[in-house]
Amino acid sequence: MENKELIVGLDIGTTKICVIVGRKNEYGKLEVLGMGKAVSDGVDRGVVTNIDKTVHAIEKAVEEASEMANVDIVDVIVGIAGQHIQSKIQSGSIMRQPTDDEITIEDVRRLSSEMENILIPPGNTIIHVMPQDYTVDYEGGIKDPVGMSGTRLEADFHIITAQTTAINNINRCVRRAELVSKQLILEPLASSLSVLSDDEKEAGVCLVDIGGGTTDIAIFYENIIRHTAVIPLGGNIITKDIKEGCMVMQNQAELLKTKFGKAIAEEANPNEIVSIPGLRNRAPKEISIRNLASIIQARMEEIIEIVQNEIMQSGHYKKLAGGIVLTGGGAQLQFVSQLFEYMTGLDTRIGYPNEHLGKSVIEEVKSPMYATSVGLVLAGFKALDDRDQGYTNRTANGKPVKRAKSIDINPKDIFDKIAGRLKGILSDDIGDDSNY
């Protein structure tokens, strides 16, 4: 193997906690060595609500994955989601010395690190600072300023913040499970690594990850992340609606949704009926598939409306040539992509995380359900921004971007040089005179 380094992704979701162990094979594809999952009881809408239950579930998933991969798991890359996630666009600038010839990687990084100190609402922490377009000496629309000449370097940054208590609770769960969190990544960004192609990101695409408790959105345009949002509605709310609408148990509602659920009511056969075992000494309950589909459609339409509203607010609705890519457990619902197409007017496809996967012993990971977990492992090998990847490669190859030698001009040195030169000329002349 070219790269023996193992990366572990830990996805703390509302319905499941998933751990994936992977490494890069000789072809640069991700090889999944082990996977473990556990039912997530202590998480609600992406936020940890019960530490003990979450720790227990993490330990169970880690144990399962480490047994399968036959490795000890210590370092993990953790995903974060939840209603508390906020994003905003912030501008920043730095001044450079006019004597410095060209903009370097260090200048770009200094500008990014300065953005981490901006004023944010109390109780929040910055988790990602992502540059959009750069401006060099008031010349805008520059993607990569490294190597250019200029004194004033500006940029618009996409800043993602999360609630400090939510981050602390995740870190506490990870520590109590005797693990070390190497990196904290927003889940829609992780999902985008596993299901989106570079062409789609360039053309403009909206990733919609429909999970159990939340629906995550990430909008890309010209290969740059432009907008992120987390909606506190997901597959669990549909299950709850079925439970109340059909008057059945929670687990029965979940089975009805996954086995017979359709996102468009007209596609369901009106004569098709499912029989559900009744409670103690009661007759079985008969449920119409058409009614079931009507309940699902009503809630899905609500989620799609909120998604569309987010796309509109981002100002990129007319720029999404790549349309919408659906992933997450909710993407497995029948006719969901057609409903998205019908309501948003954008091309929609289901995103499978198999583009970056090599030969895998676990076929299950190729499901849209595991897009985030696979993305978290990929984040260990690949930067969220392609430009960062380029900078890392340049410095790793021992070829940092050439920096012009700054010449410190000291007046004393110049005077000494002139005096030395004059002295040489005078001594030569005196020597010539003695020959006469």
CATH number, residue 271: 3.30.420.40
User: Shortest CA distance to 219 belongs to which of 198, 201, 195?
Assistant: 201
Mean pLDDT over residues 337-365, rounded?
88
Confidence at 387, pLDDT banded by 50, 70, 90: confident
Mean pLDDT for the chain? Answer: 86
Q: What is the CATH number of the domain that holds 136?
A: 3.30.1490.110
What pLDDT does 104 receive? 87
Domain residues for 157? 86-163
Instruction: Evaluate if residue 61 carries a pLDDT over 90.
Output: yes
Axis crossing angle, helix 51-69 with helix 164-176, rounded to the nearest 10:
50
Q: What is the mean pLDDT of residues 341-354?
A: 92
**398 or 136: which carries more pLDDT confidence?**
136
Q: Would you place residue 427 in the very low, low, confident or very high pLDDT band (cuts 50, 70, 90)?
A: low
Residue 381 lies in a domain: no
Nearest to 399, CA basis, from 147, 97, 94: 147
Quote the pTM value: 0.85
Instruction: Give burial (CB, 10 Å; 0-12/13-18/19+) of 326.
Output: buried
pLDDT of residue 416: 65
Does position 29 have pLDDT exceeding 90, yes or no?
A: no
Q: What is the mean pLDDT of residues 97-116?
A: 85
Query: Is residue 135 in a domain?
Result: yes
Domain boundary among 281, 296, 311: 296
Which residues are CB-contacts of 235 (< 8 A; sequence separation ≥ 6)? 15, 210, 211, 212, 257, 328, 329, 330, 333
- For residue 367, being part of any structural domain is answered with no
Q: What tens digit of pLDDT does each residue of 149-193 get?
A: 888 999 999 999 999 999 999 999 999 999 999 989 999 999 999
**Regarding predicted confidence, which is higher, 297 or 3?**
297
Does 423 score more than 70 pLDDT?
no
Measure the N-to-C terminal CA separation of the chain; round to a whole number of Å. Answer: 83
Tokens at 99, concatenated:
């004597």
**In a domain? residue 128:** yes
- On the question of pLDDT at 354 being above 90, the answer is no
Query: Taking residues 23-37, what's their average pLDDT?
Result: 87
pLDDT in tens, 409-421: 455 555 565 566 6
Q: Per the structure, how many domains does the chain have?
A: 2
Which of the listed residues 270, 296, 322 is the one where a domain comes to its end? 296
Q: Which amino acid is at 251?
A: N
